[in-house]
Chains A and B, each alone.
Chain A
Amino acid sequence: KNEVEQSPQNLTAQEGEFITINCSYSVGISALHWLQQHPGGGIVSLFMLSSGKKKHGRLIATINIQEKHSSLHITASHPRDSAVYICAVNNAGNMLTFGGGTRLMVKP
């Protein structure tokens, strides 16, 4: 079993829909990251969080340390949100351990 599991692996939504991507982890962590990777593009850090909730524009990230679970929400989704979203954790060391990613497509 991978240390970081994401669901769903693939997600198709209509423009305007509310989107949730889930991440579960099985190890103790010091922080959790949500990353975005556009096709053929680089990786951008969206959030780093160790407790509670963070919001940036239409993106919201939450984490429940007791349940070892985090969610990334996208409100009023737009085609430009189409990308791979990756959950990663800082666990034993300072490096990141990654989930398998969620491929999101938002259709106009």
Chain B
Amino acid sequence: GAGVSQSPSNKVTEKGKDVELRCDPISGHTALYWYRQSLGQGLEFLIYFQGNSAPDKSGLPSDRFSAERTGGSVSTLTIQRTQQEDSAVYLCASSSRAVETQYFGPGTRLLVL
């Protein structure tokens, strides 16, 4: 596809369950970002991948959050033992290189009951 895609578009889970969110960046983009937008709050950075470099995990809110990027393309964000405060829209973005226009996916809306 031409843009960034994310799946699932919506996810409802029970507190304590693990969830995996997927991001397919634009082909050829070396930089991939995960952000979170909580209800009533602004956007916040979670994690950043650039090429084969070690990811910048400085935005992850707890050790329940992790992400990987396989083969420099698809990325998965995993949240273990989900809590109600994890409910948010999780957005993925990619760019052709660092400090360049970022293209956002449609997001995954996560609801933890």
Question: Which A residues are closer than 8 A to B by beta carbons?
Answer: 30-31, 33, 35, 42-45, 48, 86, 88, 90, 93-101
Given contacts A86-B43, A100-B42, A101-B42, whether A94 and B103 have CB atoms under 8 Å apart is no
Task: Give chain A nearest CB distance to B93 CB in angstroms.
Answer: 8
CB distance A94 to B99 under 8 Å? yes
For the complex, what is the distance from the CA of A93 to the CA of B56, rounded to whole Å? 8
- For B31, list chain A residues within 8 Å (CB): 94
CB distance B42 to A30 under 8 Å? no
CB distance B101 to A45 under 8 Å? yes
CB distance B99 to A31 under 8 Å? yes
Given contacts A43-B91, A86-B43, A101-B42, whether A96 and B33 have CB atoms under 8 Å apart is yes
Number of cross-chain contacts by CB at 8 Å: 49
- For A101, list chain B residues within 8 Å (CB): 42
CB distance B100 to A42 under 8 Å? no
CB distance A95 to B104 under 8 Å? no
Q: Give the interface segment out of B17-25, B44-52, B65-73, B76-84.
A: B44-52
- Chain B 14-45: CB-based contact to A (< 8 A → 1; otherwise 0): 00000000000000000101010000001111
- For B35, list chain A residues within 8 Å (CB): 96
- For B58, list chain A residues within 8 Å (CB): 93
Q: Which one, A31, A42, A95, contacts B59 given CB within 8 A? A: A95
